Structure 1
């Protein structure tokens, strides 16, 4: 029994990365990366956020230290898997952030949390993703290796080393294709309720992935208000605008009074 408990704890810990532990932080910020991305994408954010916020990156299977695990192929089992390990981490107020594919996962995760009657995030922050009512359909995951690589490189968030190193590209390709298949076969439930929490929408003003009105469509997903925050840059504006983005997040989360962030 003791071994089983330890194995369960080790499994749960694989899902979460804290680059800077802040045990006295009043608030946790869970972060979900883009397709093909891992927890390390957020490593530099931890030092840019105030001491009151502890960043916890959610690490999906198939990447970085979990590269030996098969990636999860579809949205529903992915959200279910995260939900199953998240509850012990909800012992203090928290917010949820996701970029691109991560934004869709974060939204579905909040819907799951709401259905279960668990403590909701203070805020959902979505980035670089159209509102679910305007869910884009595509079949890039079925493209040839050459066309697939060209398309993801054009977005600007993938290391040029992928093009220069066939070995690295061969290693990264299965997870990239899996994530694109996951998000391209994802169909939001048309009967989903609005979330009972505010949503902050962040986006690059020159993002080729977003059509006019895509960011504004998030206003349909909350009964508690939605705000938009535009930044200079394309789909991966987060990298050059890292400081401005973390300042924006800090302001959004800093609106809560100390009393509202009391530890349980």
Structure 2
């Protein structure tokens, strides 16, 4: 891997001969540490790869990317050498857009298709958002919005000073999502698993369900308790579902 690829992609569970690679794509403001504790069962022989976009954690001094296509192109360039065996994408919120558009970019450029897409906490990309933009909110309004998004999650970040320190990259990611423009293309010929939370103030369950239009094989929405960051509280249950579906996808 090049140094740029090593900066962007981090392997959380190296395997000498992986049968599968799972790439976990971040939600707004998050980085590689968002999935730091993710592990898959040993019998899958899987590597878990996380993404460290510029502007966060150990890349905090670098300017963040502000457009989804720029993030997706950087991911394609970095990940391509690792797509030599079955792979899957898991994306939450902004990460779901990244996973979807990365799969479409790979198709357009003649690359391999993922064995599975896991799309969590994001409305179907052809639906207009009904929540007001967040990237331009003032300091106090942004903090309130982040608290609303966290909802009942006990694992969500609540530290005011830390959130204010993270605000520039959070705003940049919000801007990227708000500027995103869906371009119609044929549905992906990739199995898609959908995940949502009942108390999510940003995205309704029915909006997540509408992803069915963008794949030839979409599973019903798996619904969890909690707000927009439900996966922080329900990591083990989410991983159980991911592992079970990856086992089926790679056995086919």
Assess same fold via TM > 0.5: yes
Confirm whether residue 16 of structure 1 aligns to residue 9 of structure 2: yes
**What is the CA deviation profile of residues 184-235 of structure 1, one whole-angstrom value per residue up to 9, with x for unaligned ones?**
111111x222111111001112212223520110110002333321112221
* Contact 1:135 1:187 survives alignment (8 Å): no
* Matched residue count: 245
Tell me, which stretches of 5 or more residues in structure 1 are unaligned? 1-7
**What is the CA deviation profile of residues 65-89 of structure 1, one whole-angstrom value per residue up to 9, with x for unaligned ones?**
1112111011111111111111101
**For residues 73-222 of structure 1, what are the structure 2 equivalents within 5 Å?**
73-136=66-129, 138-156=132-150, 158-161=156-159, 163=160, 165=161, 168-189=162-183, 191-211=184-204, 213-222=206-215
**What is the CA deviation profile of residues 17-55 of structure 1, one whole-angstrom value per residue up to 9, with x for unaligned ones?**
112212233110000111001111111112xx1122211
What is the TM-score when the length of structure 1 is the normalising length? 0.88
Larger Rg: 1
* 1:257 CA displacement: 5.2
* Contact 2:20 2:85 survives alignment (8 Å): yes
Q: Which runs of 4+ in 1 moved over 6 A?
A: none
**What is the CA deviation profile of residues 105-152 of structure 1, one whole-angstrom value per residue up to 9, with x for unaligned ones?**
111111101111111000110000111121415321111111011101
The CA distance in 1 between the partners of 2:205 and 2:84, in whole Å, is 39
Aligned-CA RMSD value = 1.6
Secondary structure at 1:225 match in 2: strand
Secondary structure at 1:121 match in 2: coil
The CA distance in 2 between the partners of 1:229 and 1:170, in whole Å, is 33
* Contact 1:193 1:221 survives alignment (8 Å): yes
What is the TM-score when the length of structure 2 is the normalising length? 0.92
Secondary structure at 1:133 match in 2: coil
Tell me, which stretches of 5 or more residues in structure 2 are unaligned? none
The CA distance in 2 between the partners of 1:111 and 1:227, in whole Å, is 21
Secondary structure at 1:213 match in 2: helix
